[in-house]
Amino acid sequence: MLQAYLPPQLSEVEVRALVRDAIDRGAADLGSTMKAVMPTTKGRFDGKELNRIVREALG
């Protein structure tokens, strides 16, 4: 019932694309990448999972 009021959730594939785009635009570390991606993902994707994906992409 609450899902109708929440913004649509992002898939992991979509988040990985956002992270890759942020890195391509110059984000070189965890902090700058998270800062670039968080406005788009906030409330739409789990922050811990986002952190894991960013670490994988940077590693």
Confidence of residue 2 (pLDDT cuts 50, 70, 90): confident
Q: What is the pTM of this model?
A: 0.88
Task: Using pLDDT thresholds of 50, 70 and 90, give the confidence band for residue 4.
Answer: confident
Domain count, the chain: 1
> Average pLDDT for residues 46-51, to the nearest whole number?
97
Q: Identify the burial level of 38 via C-beta atoms within 10 angstroms of its C-beta, where 0-12 means exposed, 13-18 middle and 19 or more buried.
A: middle
Percent of the chain at pLDDT above 70? 100
For residue range 21-35, list pLDDT tens digits in order. 999 999 999 999 999
Q: What is the CATH number of the domain that holds 46?
A: 1.10.10.410
Q: Is residue 1 part of a domain?
A: no
In the numeric block, which tokens belong to residue 49? 């999972």
Domain that holds residue 30: 10-58
